[in-house]
Homo-oligomer: A and B are copies of this chain.
Amino acid sequence: MIRQVPTIPIGRDASLSRPVSYRLIALDPLSAARRGVLDTPHGSFETPAFMPVGTQATVKGVVPDLLRQVGSTMILANTYHLALRPGAEVVQSLGGLHRFMGWSGPILTDSGGFQAFSMADRVTLTERGVAFKSHLDGSLLDLTPERAVEIQEALGADVAMCLDQCPALPASKEVIAEAVARTIRWAERCKNAQTRPDQALFGIVQGGSHEDLRGECAEALIAMDFSGYAVGGVSVGEGREEVRKALDVTTHKLPTEKPRYLMGVGRPQDILDAVATGIDMFDCVLPTRNGRNATCLTARGNVKLRNASHKTDSGPIEEGCDCPACLKFSRGYIRHLFLAGEMLGPILASLHNLAYMHRLMREIREAISEARFVRYRAEALEALGSETVQ
């Protein structure tokens, strides 16, 4: 049974034009999985969708034309890295992020908070914000909710994220509760700091795997009426079960008519789990990072291209794949490129991995429309195996 759902007016005030809006297309009858369309100032695309990560305003090794060719729609760039180098004002003076990196499609930027905590030196957290030393040149920097919005407005992505506090896990419930309270206060400050009518702002739900805390955080953010909601703090070192638990108590609390984004999650298995709870958007460095390490994603698990078994293998990375790497090159050749230290190895493996991710998402969307997502998910997980290495 395919359920076609009519377009739903977005937000509390449907008369207010929004830079980003979500339309539901289909709901899976046996899970909370949903298919939709996200409209942005730089084009529309279908969800569930995977966003490649272009940390420093480039998806590593992939020219924008090829990125589009493998199926990328919206991509992500990291505010922390770009604010440090080349600086948000440099990006702005060169026409903003889209013009700067030659990507005319939708872009999302994170707030920079997560990287400030994980990469910078001497991080000091106060109610005001995060103070830290740049990991690049040791300069002292200050990231407040207001500054996070200001930087992201200068970068000019279609979607900006609120500055949140994401406690490192495991953490006591008390610590998580404090992070939730601060995340809510900062979200309010971010919202008040917004000046660009053409940029959407998403709130981030924290709360670990505590249903009450997640609920409290979601409720407070929903009252502020963001353009979309992210589930944060679920890709910080915990296992697959913890991720599932956090999602089980969170996703269903988010408004149906807004896009839902699970930050930093990109393992195919985790994506299949998260879609079942109703998540629409994902991002992760996994396809390109694995690609640079000669590990290729396929529907039947990972393929390690450096293995000697591929030396004279004339087959493609993945049979049936229509990506630029699989259409033209053999495993034997790409293995040679990696052993010879040639840039083209990481380039081709990254292209394939991105194509794989986008194919996975397309299959997920089709399965949802055809009301067979639960079966598709079970079969896909079975085929993926537990990190099979070919």
A58 at the interface (CB under 8 A from B): yes
A307 at the interface (CB under 8 A from B): no
Q: Which residue of B lies closest to A327 (CB)?
A: B102
Q: CB within 8 A of A65: which of B64, B86, B324, B346?
A: B324
A339 and B102 contact, CB distance less than 8 A? no
B61 and A63 contact, CB distance less than 8 A? no
A347 and B61 contact, CB distance less than 8 A? yes
A57 at the interface (CB under 8 A from B): yes
B324 and A90 contact, CB distance less than 8 A? no
**A342 touching B60 in the complex, CB below 8 Å, given contacts A312-B90, A328-B102, A329-B102:** yes
Q: Which of A4-12, A92-100, A268-276, A358-366 contacts B (4 or more CB under 8 A)?
A: A92-100
**A94 touching B314 in the complex, CB below 8 Å, given contacts A324-B63, A328-B102, A344-B63:** yes
Interface size class of A (residues with CB under 8 A): 35 or more
Q: Which of A178-186, A279-287, A330-338 contacts B (4 or more CB under 8 A)?
A: A330-338
A340 at the interface (CB under 8 A from B): yes
CA distance A342 to B344 in the complex (A): 14
Q: Which residue of B lies closest to A58 (CB)?
A: B344
CA distance A343 to B54 in the complex (A): 12
**A333 to B: closest C-beta gap in Å:** 5
A56 at the interface (CB under 8 A from B): yes
CA distance A342 to B350 in the complex (A): 14
Q: Which residue of B lies closest to A100 (CB)?
A: B333
**A80 to B: closest C-beta gap in Å:** 13
Residue numbers in B under 8 Å from A57 (CB-CB): 333, 336
CA distance A94 to B343 in the complex (A): 20
Q: Which residue of B lies closest to A66 (CB)?
A: B63
4 new A-B contacts, CB < 8 A, other than A56-B342, A64-B328, A343-B346, are A63-B66, A94-B333, A95-B314, A100-B336
**A–B complex contacts, Cβ < 8 Å, 13 sampled:** A56-B340, A61-B344, A64-B328, A65-B324, A81-B340, A85-B340, A86-B332, A93-B332, A94-B330, A102-B328, A102-B329, A343-B346, A347-B347
Could you list which residues of chain A lie within 8 angstroms of chain B, going by C-beta atoms? Answer: 56-58, 60-66, 81, 85-86, 90, 93-95, 100-102, 311-312, 314, 324, 328-330, 332-333, 335-337, 339-340, 342-344, 346-348
